[in-house]
Structure 1
Amino acid sequence: MSDLLISALQRADNETPINGGRLPGAAAPAPAEDSDTASVTTPAVAHGEVARASQSANAKKIRAMRETLELRTATAGYHRELALLQRDRSRLDVLSANEERLERRAAQRVRGLSRRHDVATAVAAARLDGRERRAERQLAHTELTDQVWQRRALARRRRLLDPTSRLASLQRTHVGVSLVLMAVAVAGIAWTSVGVHDALVGPDGTPLAYIVEPLFSLPLLVIMTLHARAAQWGRTFPARENQTRIRLLEAILLLATMAINASPVLPVLGTWQNVTTLLAHLAPPVLIVVAIVLQPLAAAFLATILEEAHVEVTDAGPHRLASDTVDTLTLVTKVRAAIASGQLEPWGDTALPSVEAIRRYFGCEKRRAQGVHDALKLLTNGHHTGGASSAEAPA
């Protein structure tokens, strides 16, 4: 529509004179031939001026319309460009000054967070490395400790399985028990010696009073030692014909020791104080009695174990049998003796002790106990077979 309007305006512009001039192609006015015709042409001239004025007014209107049209065309182009610009999303990426400040602050905060994250990561890595090193040290220490305890356990196992080591341990126990009981007896004698000395002559009296109480206690120690040595050798002290006299002597010495110690605090013989004081004076003699009773019992028990303990034979001596065979036969003899004495009971209907019972009784290895059990079965079966053959021979 605008193109048609522009074409019409251009045609009208070509036909319209500008500033009273005639456009090319228009008919020129005829020249005046004479004065007589001037009056005749005057109305025509007036009509032409009116026409030119009308054309000038039309030209102004056309120019005004053209300017309006150009303005509208320019406005329409502006609107089209504005619409295209509004539809362009890139204009939204343009940041304002406030947004630039916010973006800068955000970037600074992000960089700060990144730095703190890097520092925290480095610190965590360092701490993790430290924990790993500590864990490695702890594991190494634990492994070393386990190795030490393993070696101790293996050494103890070897000592438990080795008959010689078991005998040595038993002997150490025997010596330790004897020393402890002897120390208890000596301590009791020393305690009672001081008490008797103070009761007889007072704390500042003559030192000779200290030997009064040992005169009664030392014979008890001698009797205790004899009991222990007799038990070690499998004997009985005293002999049967002297038992009554020794028992009476022990009772007299013990009662005398208790009377000497308790007399200073008894109501009739001395000054009564309280029950605690009386028990304190009676305790040392009682400890001496305990040591005297336990010493022979412990010695007899340990001596029996030492006597019955089995030691593997390493040298068969003059025998033509191997050392293992000699050792097995020795154990077979001891097992039969233990069965006869009731220390080993038969297992089930086999009339023989079990392998585990043999192992526990002699403290030997299971392999050795199995060999002894097999030898006992062979000897038992051979005995029955031989007995049956002997019974059938006369027939």
Structure 2
Amino acid sequence: MSAPTSNGHRPTQPSTLSAEQWGSELIPSGATREDDPAEEGVADTDEVRALARQVHQARGLAALQDDPALHEALSERERRADRKVTERIRSARRAERRRTALAEVAGTRRDRQEARWIDRARTSKERLLNPNRRLAATYRRYVALSCVPPTLIGFGVVFMSATVHDGVVGMDGPWVGYLIEPMASVLLVVSLLIGFTAVQNSRQVPRGLYFLDGGLALASLVLTVVPWGLRYGFDAGSTIAHTLPSLLIVAAVVVQHLLHSVFRPIFAELYEELQPSRLTDQTSDTVVLYERTRRAIDDQEIPVSASGAPSREAIRKRFGVGKVRSQLAGDAYELVQRTLDPR
């Protein structure tokens, strides 16, 4: 078998003789010259041996210079560059793992928040669909809001009692003067409680309460401003300072009556939905919504077509119900009208 080749030629096998032995063989054994001094012979021998060593090294270099390992070996600069690349890759992988972990944490947090909002929405839906829970939530809100005006009136009475005392009996007058303003304001609080009780039991607020509250608020304003002005003078600064608390009490009374007007029809509708019945929930809801629709049509709050059919969209917007419930209420109204008036 022939020897393997490298780069298209067969490398020469290096000689097994040492450079000195190979150089000695190149020197002719019987060679003699004329005028052969000893120094010239030694110089020739050294030159031949040096040349023999060069030839020997050249043959070894020729045999190894095409070795693939010589081309695959990395230099120090290349090894440093490869290490930098490896470090950069590891750093990028760490950053990617960090981003992935943070994304998972953020996704978990979003899922948890979404689940919380879903639970809230489900609870709100159940509360809206359940008349008992809707009534309880509305009543709690009504009670909380109704506590604000009396509290504001109480703070105003504390301030105005001192003003009325100083204006009526003077700064050094008897302590009984502090009771003048509270005695007038107590009637105002009683009037507000009467209106609250009426709304609580789905009753109409007596119209006389509006006039009573207006008169009491006006009396409180007069007691605060007039005696002080008559005793100490009606200068602009003190007059405005003593008028503002009375105006705040008037605003509190107005807000309380607004609460009555807003929550009374809401309670009335909820009480109607909670009336005991042997009908199904859907039938009961349709009957109640039909009656409310009939009243709204009588008050001209819902338009009716020439054929006598009420607008389903107007029913939906007027009572804040869904499309199905508004259609059922409209169908019930048309059915009742056709039954009562077959023409």
Question: Is the TM value for this pair above 0.5?
Answer: yes
- The answer for the alignment partner of 1:49 in structure 2 is none
Q: 1:253-298: per-residue Cα shift (whole Å, max 9, x none)?
A: 44443244335764x53156653x4322111111112222332332
Out of 236, 242, 257, the residue aligned to residue 220 of structure 2 is 257
Change (3 A) 1:208 1:314: closer
Tell me, in whole angstroms, the C-alpha distance in 2 between the residues paired with 1:326 and 1:216: 48
| Cα deviation, residue 211, structure 1 | 1.7
| Cα deviation, residue 130, structure 1 | 1.5
Tell me, in whole angstroms, the C-alpha distance in 2 between the residues paired with 1:109 and 1:323: 85
Matches within 5 A, 1:272-283: 274-275=236-237, 277-283=238-244
Change (3 A) 1:294 1:123: closer
Matches within 5 A, 1:65-80: none
- The answer for the alignment partner of 2:204 in structure 1 is 234
- Residue 336 (structure 2) pairs with residue 368 (structure 1): no
Q: Which runs of 5+ in 2 are unaligned?
A: 1-57
2:131–2:274 Cα contact (<8 Å) kept: no
Tell me, in whole angstroms, the C-alpha distance in 2 between the residues paired with 1:304 and 1:146: 35
Pairs aligned (count): 277
Tell me, in whole angstroms, the C-alpha distance in 1 between the residues paired with 2:324 and 2:231: 69
- Residue 310 (structure 2) pairs with residue 353 (structure 1): yes
Change (3 A) 1:111 1:124: same
- The answer for the alignment partner of 1:109 in structure 2 is 77
- One-letter amino acid of the structure 2 residue matched with residue 173 of structure 1: R
- Residue 125 (structure 2) pairs with residue 157 (structure 1): yes
Q: Percent identity?
A: 27
- Residue 293 (structure 2) pairs with residue 335 (structure 1): yes
- The answer for the alignment partner of 1:97 in structure 2 is none
Farther off after superposition, 131-140 or 183-192 = 183-192
1:196–1:209 Cα contact (<8 Å) kept: yes
- Residue 106 (structure 2) pairs with residue 138 (structure 1): yes
- The answer for the alignment partner of 2:302 in structure 1 is 344
Q: Which runs of 5+ in 1 are unaligned?
A: 1-84, 95-99, 388-395
TM-score for both structures, normalised by structure 2: 0.66
| Cα deviation, residue 208, structure 1 | 4.0
TM-score for both structures, normalised by structure 1: 0.59
- One-letter amino acid of the structure 2 residue matched with residue 308 of structure 1: E
Tell me, in whole angstroms, the C-alpha distance in 1 between the residues paired with 2:198 and 2:182: 24
- The answer for the alignment partner of 2:334 in structure 1 is 377
2:164–2:223 Cα contact (<8 Å) kept: yes
- Residue 175 (structure 2) pairs with residue 175 (structure 1): no
Change (3 A) 1:130 1:123: same
- One-letter amino acid of the structure 2 residue matched with residue 238 of structure 1: G
Matches within 5 A, 1:202-241: 202=171, 207-230=175-198, 232-238=202-208
Tell me, in whole angstroms, the C-alpha distance in 2 between the residues paired with 1:328 and 1:236: 31
Change (3 A) 1:263 1:373: closer
SS of corresponding position for 2:75: helix
| Cα deviation, residue 136, structure 1 | 0.6
Out of 301, 307, 314, the residue aligned to residue 268 of structure 2 is 307
Change (3 A) 1:210 1:337: same
- The answer for the alignment partner of 1:270 in structure 2 is 232
Q: 1:177-227: per-residue Cα shift (whole Å, max 9, x none)?
A: 22111112112112212333455554x876544322212222233333334
| Cα deviation, residue 127, structure 1 | 2.0
- Residue 94 (structure 2) pairs with residue 126 (structure 1): yes
Q: 1:81-101: per-residue Cα shift (whole Å, max 9, x none)?
A: xxxx9xxxx69x69xxxxx9x
- One-letter amino acid of the structure 1 residue matched with residue 246 of structure 2: P
SS of corresponding position for 1:269: helix
RMSD: 3.7
- One-letter amino acid of the structure 2 residue matched with residue 147 of structure 1: A
2:166–2:228 Cα contact (<8 Å) kept: no
Tell me, in whole angstroms, the C-alpha distance in 2 between the residues paired with 1:326 and 1:150: 29
